[in-house]
Amino acid sequence: MINAIIASLSKKIPFERPILIIFTGESNSGGQALNVSATFSELLPRYKVRPLNNTTLKFEDLHIGVNNNIGHTGGINSATNHGWELQLAARCEAEDLPALPIFTCKTGQGGSTISQWNVGGAYYTTFLERVNAAIGMLAEPRVFVWYSQGINDSIAETAVTTWKSATIAHIDHIRTDLGITDLDFIVPYLPGTGLETFNTAWDEIDTADANVHVVSIDGAEMGDSYHWNYAGMKVIANNLIDKTLELL
């Protein structure tokens, strides 16, 4: 009920600063939902969401199948896959968000473990290049991070204590390097079996850090053991959007 009221009010109360949402982490941050599941209209250009083109480093209209997953490793690409951006576009077209268009910047890398996001490494360097380009084109944006990471560390049998410490350090590095000390990270629980200890660690990070917010994945359908499908991505995106609205 509260989320519905906030969403309703957001249509009436303008937000003066542009909103930038950074998608980052592993494969679910890019999305393995299949484009063939989307409707004809969902595959048309959508001007109320403007992603950073990861080749040109310029914002452009969202076009699922063309520019939504550029430069994402792990077999994820624009031609076949999408993620949270599809439902974000639907919510923007319904004017559920107070500042339009919403700007996005995708920085995730499929198959990545937390150790691969070390400062100075290729993934983190690319992250900063994309995000700094995005922020540099906006006037005092309100920035959020939608973050999904931990599945590949579980598969690699990384000790959860090691992963947790490295994840906290990674979050701190991002805040320091972007100069946003209170940067909000919105994190869906990890899907799939065998990830209970990692989800417990996310709860602990959430409890210790007022700007980390873990959101539900209940009812989100899976495309395989670890990735949400077309319908599931919409459920997760709605939860991410609702939490973002609460924080504005």
* Single pTM value for the model: 0.93
Domain that holds residue 182: 2-247
pLDDT given at position 75: 86
Q: Is the dihedral of CA 203, 209, 210, 213 positive or negative?
A: negative
- Spell out the per-residue pLDDT of the chain, length 248, in tens: 444 434 444 444 568 899 999 999 999 999 999 999 999 999 999 999 999 999 999 999 999 999 999 999 988 999 999 999 999 999 999 999 999 999 999 999 999 999 999 999 999 999 999 999 999 999 999 999 999 999 999 999 999 999 999 999 999 999 999 999 999 999 999 998 899 999 999 999 999 999 999 999 999 999 999 999 999 999 999 999 999 999 99
* Rounded-to-integer distance, Cα 200 and Cα 42, Å: 35
* Spatial distance between the Cα atoms of 179 and 176, rounded to a whole number of angstroms: 5
* CA–CA gap between residue 89 and residue 95 (Å, rounded): 10
Structure token pair of residue 219: 């009812």
pLDDT at 1: 41
Tell me how far apart the alpha carbons of residues 24 and 184 are, in angstroms, rounded to a whole number: 13
pLDDT score recorded for residue 13: 58
Parallel, antiparallel or unpaired: strands 19-25 and 142-148: parallel
Task: Tell me which amino acid residue 42 is.
Answer: E
What local confidence, expressed as pLDDT, does residue 233 receive? 97
Type of residue at 114: I
Number of structural domains found in the chain: 1
* pLDDT value of residue 74: 87
Predicted pLDDT of residue 2: 41
**CATH number of 127's domain:** 3.40.50.1110
Check residue 135 and give its pLDDT.
98
- Structural contact between residues 146 and 84, judged by C-beta atoms closer than 8 angstroms: yes
DSSP-assigned letter for residue 130: H
Q: How far apart are CA 240 and CA 219, in angstroms?
A: 14
